[in-house]
């Protein structure tokens, strides 16, 4: 019987997701765009037409053609291949930053909102300190001290990323803790961490997921900014920000070198923004 109930729950959850995507075309478009980038990252060695770091100085700065669909850069490297392989460090950094900032921010915010009092005041003052640091400025300082690279950039972005989740979770948890069903759960003997993670956290997650999707678009821009100034992923590894920086040197004559990675950054950011907008419509019960 329990297996039947579990199967029914899985079917209902899948039906709910499909129905939500049907009601939100923006989310569907965002999911399709993101799936394309994820597929490119996973299948890069199979679908890339050339080695992304192989140089061909005899064919440098070539215009788009049938042999090189997006042209070549100043070292004769195929831009399409570098664009495909460039999805890997970008998406990898998004995962690192999200895994580091989202759980920590949710924990701080839910604990502050659920318990209140001096615990809330201390945690929220720590959150205010974290929000006082500009994300990109702190990332630049952190990378300048500890050296360029994807891991250092991810740590720097995560340090300034968790306060937003903490504030959001604290606001919703402080409202939820006064709800009637929370009082009923406490009367039934459910208290402490069991109440926190079993009843309050699930209700905070929908808003946090929307915020996470929006933050992912900002992480892409921050990653591209670090790569543009040479503090992100180091050459010869393909990086969208670094590719844009290389293209700006010849932008008036060979515009496609900067345009190709710029469009990739735009579409990747757009996909997460569309997903965030769709998630808000799907997860918010006030939207039918």
DSSP conformation class of 197: I
| Res 133: pLDDT | 76
pLDDT in tens, the chain (288 residues): 333 333 343 334 344 555 655 667 788 888 899 999 999 999 999 999 999 998 988 888 888 989 889 989 889 899 999 999 999 988 988 888 888 888 899 999 988 888 888 888 899 888 888 888 777 777 777 777 777 777 777 887 888 888 889 998 888 888 888 777 777 877 777 777 777 788 788 888 888 888 888 888 888 988 888 888 887 788 888 989 989 998 998 888 889 899 999 999 999 999 999 988 888 777 665 454
Token pair, residue 254, equals 């060979």
Name which of 14, 38, 29 is nearest 88 in CA terms. Answer: 38
Q: Does domain 29-42+86-283 have CATH number 1.10.3720.10?
A: yes
Query: What residues form DSSP beta bridges with 78?
Result: 72
Query: What pairs with residue 72 in β-bridges?
Result: 78
**Confidence (pTM):** 0.83
Cβ atoms of 85 and 53 within 8 Å: the answer is no
Q: What is the CA radius of gyration of the chain?
A: 23
Closest-CA residue to 25 (of 287, 275, 286): 275
Structural domain spans, the chain: 29-42+86-283
Q: Could you give the 3-state DSSP secondary structure of residue 188? A: coil
């Amino acid at each position: 019987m329990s297996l039947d109930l579990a199967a029914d729950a899985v079917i209902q959850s899948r039906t709910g997701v499909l129905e939500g995507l049907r009601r939100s075309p923006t989310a569907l478009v965002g999911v399709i765009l993101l799936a394309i980038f994820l597929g490119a990252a996973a299948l890069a060695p199979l679908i890339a037409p050339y080695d992304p770091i192989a140089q061909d100085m005899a064919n440098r700065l070539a215009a788009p053609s049938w042999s090189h669909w997006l042209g070549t850069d100043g070292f004769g490297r195929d831009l399409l291949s570098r664009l495909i392989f460039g999805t890997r460090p970008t998406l990898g950094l998004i995962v690192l930053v999200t895994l580091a900032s989202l759980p920590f921010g949710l924990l701080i915010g839910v604990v502050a909102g659920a318990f209140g009092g001096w615990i809330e005041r201390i945690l929220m003052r720590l959150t205010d300190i974290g929000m006082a640091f500009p994300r990109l400025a702190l990332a630049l300082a952190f990378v300048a001290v500890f050296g360029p690279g994807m891991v250092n950039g991810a740590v720097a972005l995560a340090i300034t990323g968790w306060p937003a989740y903490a504030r959001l979770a604290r606001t919703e948890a402080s409202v939820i803790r006064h709800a009637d069903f929370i009082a009923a759960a406490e009367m039934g003997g459910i208290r402490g961490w069991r109440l926190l993670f079993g009843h309050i956290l699930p209700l905070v997650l929908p808003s946090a997921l929307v915020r996470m999707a929006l933050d992912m678009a900002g992480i892409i821009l921050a990653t591209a900014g670090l790569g543009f100034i040479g503090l992100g992923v180091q050459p010869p590894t393909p990086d969208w920000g670094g590719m844009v920086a290389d293209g700006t040197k010849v932008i008036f004559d060979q515009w496609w070198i900067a345009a190709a990675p710029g469009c990739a950054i735009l579409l990747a950011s757009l996909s997460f923004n569309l997903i965030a907008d769709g998630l808000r419509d799907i997860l918010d019960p006030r939207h039918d």
